[in-house]
Amino acid sequence: MSFLVTLISFNANAQVKKGDLVDGISAVVGDEIVLESDILEQQNYAIQQGAAQTNKCEFMEQILSNKLLIYKAKKDTLIQDRTAAIRAQAGDKYNQILSQFPSERAMLDSYKFRSSYEMKNVIEKMDVDNYYGQAKYALITDKVNITPNEVTDFYNAFKYQLPQVKDEVVLSKIVMFPKLTDAHKQEIIDKLKKIKQDILNGETFENKARIYSDDPGSAANGGLYTNIGRGKMVKIFEATALNLQEGEISDPVESEFGFHIIQLVKKSGKLYDARHILLKAEPNAEEIATAKAEMEQIRKDILEGKTTFKDAAYKHSDDKNTKFNAGVIPAEDGSDRQEKINLPATVAYQIAGVNKGDLTEVFMDELNQKKAVVLMKVNDIIPEHSLDIATDFERIKSFALNKKKNEVLEKWVKENLADTFISLDNRYKDCQFKTDWNKAAIVK
């Protein structure tokens, strides 16, 4: 049994009472429902990912376990109730998705929703369920650890079932955002001052934000962010907003995203609503050329031994996530190895044919939606191979620890079935579950 954050169906709005089973509902766990579409989505996703086993009963059991986690988590006083805060953020997430479409209708049609209200409800439910499921799983498995001997035993027992590792690389980078000249900055500031004056003269902030703002997360919503918690926005945004009176508009301020004017809409306790108009600090051709020339000199200094890549990254890189780690790019699993097949196209192109220990040419890329000049070093190249305890211990340890956690979860599920209302649709009565859900359930 593996822990799974359920992919909630986009039509999962139904409310049921204990004992009810209606068309489309395959199970009820406590007061949490499982739709047939939930199971089909999981099964289809697994097929798309090339899974060898796609037994419908297995997906049903994974989802049942997750629903039990969610049901128990909502009753657990050790888990903070963040439902209201998560729901308050649904509007922001909705607007972020909307910014990727030409119109709201196009977005709703693409996701097969009838209304914005329906889509926001589903976003809320997905995020609330994910939060509670993950929080309860973390509590249950918090004290689970694993010894080196257990990792070795796991490897010896399952080494022929472990996945093949594809070609990997270890990369370092130096990132430089082209700096705007003072004259260019002043042009942006003057434009924002003109927009502010137009608003003071009677035009609406909302309309100006929709026309001019470069923030994809709020422009379509008139620049509005609601229920903003302290620490959620960058410091300059929060400090500026909270120093305003309700309805007041700030002068232009600069953040890492560009230049803003901000309006405080409402402040209530620790939360506040604010609108802003963002103009990104997009470098022009001259500013990009200056940054490229500076990076070319850094590359030359490294090749001539005047500095090391590590020291150059610490001194010059604008990427806070890598500059203090010799520029090394972390992988999603926390290691420094990245599969070549998953590299962004720009990076894959630049490192093609580059040998271990060599530098790439200086090239243009994007980081945090900002144009950047980049230099990379190929620290290591690891050919495709089977996992080996001598060279892949940490990766094998992760597999072993997950297996142990899932065994703890399986035990917890069995212990918590007795006092939980379970109802399964008759079509799943013949499933051979690892945990005896059928015995614990009312089957209809």
Q: What is the pLDDT of residue 49?
A: 64
Q: What is the pLDDT of residue 29?
A: 92
How, if at all, do strands 338-339 and 168-176 pair? antiparallel
In a domain, 15, yes or no: no
CB atoms inside a 10 Å sphere around CB 99? 15
Position 440 pLDDT exceeds 70: no
Q: What is the pLDDT of residue 12?
A: 37
Position 19 pLDDT exceeds 60: no
Name the residue with higher pLDDT: 2 or 262: 262
Q: Are residues 275 and 397 in the same domain?
A: no
Alpha helices (H) along 201-268: 205-212, 235-242
Structural domains of the chain, count:
3
Q: Are residues 411 and 368 in the same domain?
A: no
Mean pLDDT over each residue of the chain, to the nearest integer: 88
Which of the four pLDDT bands, split at 50, 70 and 90, describes residue 430? confident
Q: Are residues 306 and 331 in the same domain?
A: yes
For residues 105-122, give the mean pLDDT. Answer: 87
Q: Are residues 168 and 304 in the same domain?
A: yes
Given 342, 363, 386, the domain boundary residue is 386
Q: pLDDT tens digits, residue range 294-343?
A: 999 999 999 999 999 999 999 999 999 999 999 999 987 778 999 999 99
- Environment class of 420 (CB within 10 Å of its CB; exposed 0-12, middle 13-18, buried 19+): middle
Q: Are residues 230 and 275 in the same domain?
A: yes
CATH of residue 64: 1.10.4030
- Environment class of 372 (CB within 10 Å of its CB; exposed 0-12, middle 13-18, buried 19+): buried
Position 441 pLDDT exceeds 70: no
C-alpha 51, offset from chain centre: 23
Q: Are residues 306 and 270 in the same domain?
A: no
β-bridge mates for residue 164, sequence order: 386
Instruction: Scan for tokens 């910014």, then name that residue.
Output: 99
Q: What is the pLDDT of residue 1?
A: 34
In a domain, 1, yes or no: no
Q: What is the pLDDT of residue 57?
A: 87
Q: Are residues 290 and 409 in the same domain?
A: no
Name the residue with higher pLDDT: 109 or 203: 203
In a domain, 18, yes or no: no
In a domain, 249, yes or no: yes
Q: Are residues 197 and 315 in the same domain?
A: no
CA distances from 33 to 37, 73, 131, 357, 417 (A): 11, 15, 17, 54, 16
Q: pLDDT tens digits, residue range 218-247?
A: 888 899 998 888 888 889 999 999 999 999
Q: What is the pLDDT of residue 391?
A: 86
CATH of residue 222: 3.10.50.40
Q: Are residues 272 and 301 in the same domain?
A: no
Position 86 pLDDT exceeds 70: yes
Q: Are residues 63 and 74 in the same domain?
A: yes
In a domain, 105, yes or no: yes
Given 217, 249, 279, the domain boundary residue is 279
Highest mean pLDDT among 20-29, 364-373, 426-435: 364-373
Q: pLDDT tens digits, residue range 378-409?
A: 999 999 999 999 989 988 999 999 999 999 99
Q: Are residues 270 and 297 in the same domain?
A: no
C-alpha 323, offset from chain centre: 22
Q: What is the pLDDT of residue 22?
A: 41
For residues 203-211, give the mean pLDDT. Answer: 96
**pTM (predicted TM-score):** 0.67
Q: Are residues 174 and 288 in the same domain?
A: yes
In a domain, 4, yes or no: no
Position 210 pLDDT exceeds 90: yes
In a domain, 156, yes or no: no
Q: What is the pLDDT of residue 8?
A: 35
Given 228, 259, 279, the domain boundary residue is 279
Q: What is the pLDDT of residue 272?
A: 92
CB atoms inside a 10 Å sphere around CB 4? 16
In a domain, 9, yes or no: no
Q: pLDDT tens digits, residue range 140-196?
A: 999 999 999 999 999 999 999 998 889 999 999 999 999 999 999 999 999 999 999
Range of the domain at 186: 182-279
Q: What is the pLDDT of residue 55?
A: 80
